[in-house]
Chain A
C-alpha cells in the first residue's frame, strides 16, 4: 500500500536532493537529455517528412498513372524491362484516342542529361518533350509566364517551359520568361516557369525543361526512344477504373496475348511512397539506435548516482526505518528521486530540442526557400512531449530500481550505525 503522504514526502526529498546537488544532477542527466532530445527531434523530423511528402505528392497528384517501358521502383526487374519493346508515340496516341475514363492522356518522352545553356551558364538536365495538356496538370502549374500551347506544339515552335530549379540556376536575379536559352545549340524562347514541386529525392522534378514534342523530335529525334503516357485520372477514386482501362487498352495496342504478362510498366505515385517509407524507416533506425544508446548511457549514469545517493544517505534510511518507514516507503523514495532526475533531464532537453527544431525550420523555409516546409509546425507537437516525458519516467524507474531495492533492504540497525 502506498500512502499519499509518503509519496508527497518522496517528492519533497527528491526536490530537496536535486537542489542540494544541482551541478551533480545536471551532469548526471546528460545522457537522458541527449536521449530525450533525439526522441523529440526524430519524431518531429518524421512528422515533418510525412506532411511535406504528403503535400508534394498531392500537388503532383495521387491520381496520376504513368504507362512506361521502365518500372520506377523496380531495380530487380531491370533485365525484364530492358527486354521489352519500346513504347512508341503511336501507341501512346492510340491509348489517348481509345481511353474514355481519364481526364488526360499526355504523351511524354525524356532526354536525360541534355545540355542547356544561357549565355555563359550551362547545365545538363532532363529535357521532356510533351504536349500542351501537361500544362493543365498540377505538375505543370505555372509560376510565371505560361505553358506552351497546342498551336506551338503543332508548329514545332522552339519554346520551352523550365522547372523552378533550372530557372533559379540559369536566371538567379532575373525573370526567365522571354529569355532565349540554347538546347543542343538550338535557341529556345522561355515562355514559362513551373512552380516548385519537388523535395528531397524528388528534387529532379524542379530541374526539368519542357519543350513541345515536335520540337523535341527536331532536337533529339524519336529514333530508339521510348515514350510514356502520363494519365491523369481526375480523382483518386477513379484510379482503379482508369488503371484497368489503361492496362486493358495498352495490352490490345501492344498485342499482348491473354496468358502473357504486361510488357509495359504501370507506375504510380505509390512507387515514391516506398522511397519515403524507406527514408522514414532509416530515420527511425538511426534515431532509435542513438536514443537507446543515449538512454543506456543515461540510465547507467543515473543508476550510479543513485547508488552514491543511497550510500550517502544510509544513516537517513536507518532513521526513517526506525521511525516506521516500510520497505516500500524507502523503495518509492529512491524511485521517485531517480524518476525525478530523468524528468529534470527531459525538462532541460525540451527547450533545447525546441530551439533546434525552430532553427531547422527557419533554415529550411527561408534559407533554402523551401516552401513546403511551412506545412510543418515550428513547434514540437504536444504528444511528442508526452512521449518524451513517458520515456523519461520509464528510464527513471528502470535506472532507479536496483539502487532503490538495495536501499529498501538495508538493515535498520546496520544503517543507523553507519557514519
Chain B
C-alpha cells in the first residue's frame, strides 16, 4: 500500500478568452488557489495541458515562466504583498526592473500607473504609511505597470472593509472595460457578482461554469 496521491485539481477543462472577466469561486481547500497559481504560471500542472497564448506552459523552464509572469500577468494578492521597506513608487517599479527597463523609463511608467489608480500624491510613501485600500491600489498599479494582458487577483478585497472593497472592485471594472482580461479568485458572492463569468470549484473539480449578464 503506497501513499495515496492527492490531486488539488482533476479533470479541469476550461478556456478563458481575451478580455473576459472571470471569477473563480469555491470554499477553502477546493483547489481554486491551485487553479489560479497555474493560470498565473506560478505553478505547472503535473499532467494535462495548459496553453497560454498558444504556448504549452508545462514544458517551459522556470525562466520562461518568469518571463511570462513579468510581461503578461499582473498579480494582485489578498495581503497586497508589497515590499515593506520600499516606497510606493519603488514597489510599482519592481516588475520593470526584471524586464530590463531603464531607471528613467521605470519611474515614468510607475508614476503613470500610480496616477491611474488615483495615488499620484502617495508615491514616496511606504506601505506602512498607507491605508489598506491605498496599499491595494499600489499593488494594482504594480500589476498594471508592465501592461500585461491579464490581471490575476486573489481575494483582492479579503483584507479590506466593504466600502474600500467596492472601490477596488470599481478599479477592476475599469481595467476590464479598458480591454484587460481579469480573473478574480474569491469566496464572496458579492465580489464574484462583478465578474461576467463564474467558475465554481469544489474538491478539485469544476462544479459549474456560468456566464452571467
Contacts and interface: CB of A to CB of B under 8 A. Distances in A.
B62 A324 contact: no
30 contacts: A3-B98, A3-B100, A5-B96, A9-B97, A16-B85, A20-B85, A318-B81, A319-B83, A320-B94, A320-B98, A321-B69, A322-B40, A322-B42, A322-B69, A322-B81, A323-B69, A323-B70, A323-B94, A323-B95, A323-B98, A323-B142, A324-B99, A324-B146, A325-B66, A327-B63, A412-B42, A412-B43, A413-B37, A416-B42, A416-B77
Interface string A1-40: 0011110110000001000100000000000000000000
A321 B97 contact: no
A326 B43 contact: no
Nearest to A19: B85
B67 A326 contact: yes
B67 A324 contact: yes
Given A316-B83, A322-B75, A416-B81, A327 B100 contact: no
A328 interface: yes
A281 to B, nearest CB: 50
A4 B101 CA distance: 9
A325 B100 CA distance: 11
Nearest to A329: B98
Interface in B160-208: none
Interface centre among A16, A321, A322, A329 (most CB of B within 10 A): A322
B123 interface: no
Given A5-B101, A319-B81, A320-B94, A326 B71 contact: no
A324 B66 contact: yes
A325 B82 CA distance: 15
Nearest to A1: B100
Nearest to B63: A326
A321 B62 CA distance: 10
A113 to B, nearest CB: 74
Nearest to A327: B62
A5 B102 CA distance: 7
Interface string B104-142: 001000000000000000000000000000000000001
B99 A328 contact: no
Interface of A: 3-6, 8-9, 16, 20, 315-316, 318-329, 412-413, 416
Which of A16, A328, A416 has most chain B Cβ within 10 Å? A416
A325 B70 CA distance: 8
Contacts of A413: 37, 42-43
Contacts of A325: 66, 98
A327 to B, nearest CB: 6
B30 to A, nearest CB: 16
B98 A326 contact: yes
Given A320-B94, A322-B75, A326-B66, 7 more contacts: A5-B100, A319-B83, A321-B42, A321-B66, A322-B81, A326-B62, A326-B98
Nearest to B105: A5
Interface residues of B, number: 30
A320 B66 CA distance: 10
Contacts of A20: 85
B103 interface: yes
Contacts of B82: 319
Contact of B103 (A5, A322, A329): A5
Contacts of A6: 97-98, 100
A27 B83 CA distance: 26
B75 to A, nearest CB: 5
A5 to B, nearest CB: 5
A324 B66 CA distance: 4
Interface in B48-77: 62-63, 66-67, 69-71, 75, 77
A322 to B, nearest CB: 5
A410 to B, nearest CB: 11
A199 B61 CA distance: 67
The 4 closest A-B pairs by CB, nearest first: A324-B70, A324-B98, A3-B100, A323-B95
A9 B97 CA distance: 7
B106 A324 contact: no
A278 to B, nearest CB: 55
Contacts of A328: 63
B42 A323 contact: no
A202 B176 CA distance: 89
Contacts of A326: 62-63, 66-67, 98
B37 A315 contact: no
Contacts of A3: 98, 100
Nearest to B68: A324
Q: Which of A3, A4, A326, A413 has the most CB of B within 10 A?
A: A326
A413 B154 CA distance: 13
A320 B98 CA distance: 9
A320 B96 CA distance: 11
A327 B192 CA distance: 35
A9 B93 CA distance: 11
B89 to A, nearest CB: 13
A189 B43 CA distance: 99
A323 B75 contact: yes
A324 B63 CA distance: 9
Nearest to A325: B98
A315 B142 CA distance: 17
A388 B106 CA distance: 36
B170 to A, nearest CB: 24
Contacts of B101: 5
A408 to B, nearest CB: 9
